[in-house]
Amino acid sequence: MANKARILCVVGTRPEVIKMAPVILALQGSNWAQVRVIATAQHRGLLDQALADFGIVPDLDLDLMQENQTLAGLTSRLIARLDQVLADEAPDFVFAQGDTTTVFATGLCCFYRDIPFGHVEAGLRTHQRRLPFPEEMNRVFASYLATLHFAPTEAARRHLLAEGVAEQTIHLTGNTVIDALHYQVARSEDVVLPLTPGLRTVLVTAHRRESFGAPLEEICAALRELVQGHPDIEVLFPVHPNPNSGGRVRERLADVERIVLVDALDYRHFVAAMQRCHLILTDSGGVQEEAPALGKPVLVLREQTERPEAVDAGVVRLVGHDRALIVAAAGRLLDDPQAYADMARGVSPYGDGHAAGRIVAAVRALLFPDADLPS
């Protein structure tokens, strides 16, 4: 069509790319949207890795990450640069995903310039202002700034309604991470991983700010105890580049037999690791959504989760940061076949892999309400 809508998709971190990639690819495949991808590079290396996994090349890279950056400093840089981007690009609609500082700053700049803003994965809540920090407040702020809210689950939709969000602006879509997962599962068969044949793999990730310091010490101590007590397991731990997490993990675990520390995996390799592992311990939000769809039990190394659906389904369990609780919960799944089978049921409450199509259709209807456009 002659007059295509100008759509900006803003991404800043690896998880944002993973969950926005299905939307970006769907928009690129449409006949009504001119898509521009803006990378803030809130995180640098992991962002580039994820973009390459989906074959996405940013149209504009703001390259805002600084070593040991503060949240206030990052926020101020984001607002200044994103406001200029919106002035230069003059978009008809802007997307951002999730709960990072990039998302909050994007929504705020769109609000200032009266540009429609779509929040992908809207409505997640712990109702604890600082758990997780700063993500809980970022997503709350985003909900007050968004024009359209793309809720991944019915619980997320209810949270938005309870906060006074207009029902007609909320679209129940499923989570785009399941779309992304399906995309990468089909490409993961030839992936080579540093796994020892004959050993059960426990996949571990820990990178959130709430895990820094004493909680991470407890997690590392628990992993030491687990491998010492279970000679048939091996821990695969992709280490986050943030020195507050990855640096401490290497100090505590580099010399432990059967704990394999590797640099952060690209998404295709991480999906393959989830497929091939026996059990997952993580503080990641996305992994809580992905692993149940692959039939892998997940123990969440956090005190709260904004993704209670899989906990309610019995395929994810909150264990927190306490060493003894982590060891007990993981040990039960490693030693009790029935307990393991009860959690490894392949139940996913997060969608059918078609969330991106629903999101794109909702934006098309907003921008072209009177047009009969093909998808």
Kind of pairing, strands 93-97 and 117-120? parallel
Question: What is the reported pLDDT for 204?
Answer: 97
Element (H, E) at 171: strand 170-172
Question: What is the reported pLDDT for 50?
Answer: 92
- The count of other CB atoms within 10 Å of the CB of residue 373 is 13
CA 111 to chain centre: 24
Contact assessment for residue 199 and residue 233, using Cβ atoms and an 8 Å cutoff: yes
Q: At what angle do helices 14-28 and 285-293 cross, to 10 degrees?
A: 60
* Start-to-end C-alpha separation, the chain: 12
Question: What is the reported pLDDT for 212?
Answer: 78
115-132 pLDDT, tens digit each? 999 999 999 999 999 989
Tokens linked to 154: 């019915």
Question: What is the reported pLDDT for 60?
Answer: 97
Element (H, E) at 341: helix 337-343
As a whole number of angstroms, the distance between CA 47 and CA 274 comes to 20
Question: What is the reported pLDDT for 374?
Answer: 45
pTM for this model (two decimals): 0.89
Buried b (16+ CB within 10 A) or exposed e, 305-333: bbbbbbbeeebbbbbbbbbebbbebbbeb
As a whole number of angstroms, the distance between CA 99 and CA 18 comes to 14
Q: Which residues are catalytic?
A: 99, 121, 135, 207, 209, 240
- The count of other CB atoms within 10 Å of the CB of residue 169 is 16
- Which whole-number Å values give the CA distances from 55 to 175, 266, 301, in the listed order? 21, 13, 32
Question: What is the reported pLDDT for 67?
Answer: 85
Contact assessment for residue 106 and residue 37, using Cβ atoms and an 8 Å cutoff: no
Question: What is the reported pLDDT for 185?
Answer: 93
SS3 333: helix
Contact assessment for residue 109 and residue 142, using Cβ atoms and an 8 Å cutoff: no
Question: What is the reported pLDDT for 373?
Answer: 52
Quote the mean pLDDT of the chain. 94
Could you identify the residue written with the tokens 């200029």? 84
* Phi, psi of 169, deg, nearest 5: -95, -5
Which residues in the chain show pLDDT less than 50? 1, 374-375
Contact assessment for residue 113 and residue 87, using Cβ atoms and an 8 Å cutoff: yes
As a whole number of angstroms, the distance between CA 327 and CA 191 comes to 30
Domains of the chain by start residue, with CATH: 5-175+352-367 (3.40.50.2000), 200-343 (3.40.50.2000)
Question: What is the reported pLDDT for 2?
Answer: 57
